[in-house]
Chain A
Amino acid sequence: MNKPRNSHGLWNSGLLPCIALSLFLVSGCATSEPARQARPFNKIDPYENVNREIYKFNDMVDDYIAGPISDAYRYITPKFVQTGVANAFANIKNINVVFNDLLQAKFVQGAEDTGRFAINSTVGLAGLFDVAKSMSLEQHQEDFDQTLAVWGVAKGPYLVVPFLGPSTVRGIPGAAFDTAVNPTSYVATPFQALSMLNARANAEGALRFIDEAALDPYVFTRESFLQWRDNLATDGKSNANTALDEEGLDADLADATSGAATAKGGFLTMDKFGFGKVSNTFVLVKDSFDQTTLAFEQANSKLDRLKFDHSKLLMLPTHYKVH
């Protein structure tokens, strides 16, 4: 007699991913979208048609599953408990922040973030209270995707990942690394579920804002996500957005149009469900992993050079050191 499989087994057997994939493809087929063929090619989002289907699928999952659970959590849980849970997970994430501080050679910030983690883990009762904030230790936001950006890895095309939402090709190895470094990934399933619930509950304000303000929520989410990530990767120093004025925007537009002509030449022929594009995406993600490995190697050689220069510096006469 066949025993019913648990969900983990189903996922391993590949059945659940198939069901999930067919669900979003079916939802994509069922939706009539007359203007699809007329949509102009977008350099940053070449997989827009597929991305839109995944976005719709994620939206459906949020409407029927994640949203209601999050609403129930926010309704039954006192505010101070929600804050405590959010603080605790943010505190654990600081291990990842410190790691990325060091990889980006932000040593002072790394020391501050280590202090932040130490204070909140002890005085802040395992991170439930954000004591460090009252000591003017600001919460920094660093992750491996930003580290890769600092190392010069291009972000690649925009992607919407099933269940997880907006990303870029560079964001995939970034997220894989961050998941591996975050201790939450290794704890019992209920804690992981609570972590996801906390993340969804914290996103409530942003999701409501998109609902209220966006004419095309897909485009609105994409643009705000990409701008927000660029701003984080450059620590707010990017002048790409501050340089935008009338002429700048027109120049951007002209640039985007001229870029489209060359990009179209090498582009895969679109089949009905965009499988070609999906497989092309996997190739790009693989490329991004390769670039990540290369970036690691380059960073390593830079560190070696740094050590070498340092030793040379020690051998220099004292008056050189002053300069």
Chain B
Amino acid sequence: MILKKLKPITALLLVLLSMMGGLAHAEAALSAREVVDKFQGQLLAVMKSGKQLGFAGRYDKLYDAVATSHDLTKIARIVIGKEWEKLTEAQQKNLTDVFSKLSVASYAHNFKDYSGEAFTIDSEDNTTRGGVIVHAHLSIPGDKDVKFDYMLKDNGDSWRIINIIADGVSDLALKRSDYTAVLQNEGFDALMAKINDKISNYSKQE
């Protein structure tokens, strides 16, 4: 009897589960262009209420937006380059954590208010190594457009941003030179201290 009563509930659960699976699948099926479009939308929304949110509010709202659209672990690994292999597992984890925090803090600091800016996606290209580059630009009223090229890779579940090239300057290449210089010249602890200083400086500003 009990089993009979459970059957409809189990069936309902199964249906719900499959729907959730379907939703997860729909999320995974976002194209590279859609990932960029969604992220830019989230960034603009935070900019529009940037002043009311303050740094902490912008940081909280952007954390998920950045973590689900960027492959932060992969970015951290590329930024550290060959030095990555020399780090212990604990150091790698610490570095990825503070790197993720710094990335979000940097977004929260640099996109703090709104004065009519708009993102437009222009085109997309496939790279020879199976990636996609989404070409976009940011229009700023009364100023020159800023060209943004997003490089994305499929991490198995979804397309994730691994590099942003702003007006020809690659964020990944810039960070790799900067981080490896500190790591080679001053060591891991100095690198961690400097990253934490940057996060702290960003958070002190409005």
Contact = CB atoms under 8 A, between A and B. Distances in A.
B78 interface: yes
B172 A236 contact: no
A36 to B, nearest CB: 8
A38 B201 contact: no
Contacts of A184: none
A245 B163 contact: yes
Contacts of B201: 212
Most B CB atoms within 10 A — which of A215, A227, A244, A249? A215
B149 A242 contact: yes
Interface in A245-263: 245-250, 253
Contacts, number: 97
B94 to A, nearest CB: 16
Contacts of A246: 74, 77-78, 153, 162
Nearest to A36: B185
Given A213-B106, A244-B173, A35 B168 contact: no
Given A241-B168, A245-B162, A212 B198 contact: yes
A246 B178 CA distance: 17
B4 interface: no
A227 B179 contact: no
B86 interface: no
B178 A241 contact: no
A27 to B, nearest CB: 19
A222 B176 CA distance: 13
Contacts of B185: 35, 38-39, 216
Nearest to A219: B181
B133 interface: yes
B57 interface: no
20 contacts: A40-B184, A215-B179, A215-B194, A215-B198, A227-B169, A227-B173, A230-B168, A231-B169, A236-B147, A238-B168, A241-B168, A242-B127, A242-B170, A245-B151, A245-B163, A246-B77, A246-B78, A246-B162, A248-B129, A250-B82
Interface of A: 35, 38-40, 139, 212-216, 219-220, 222-224, 227-228, 230-232, 236, 238, 241-250, 253
Interface of B: 74, 77-78, 81-82, 106, 109, 127, 129, 131, 133, 144, 147, 149, 151, 153, 162-163, 165, 167-170, 172-174, 176-179, 181-182, 184-186, 191, 194-195, 198, 201-202
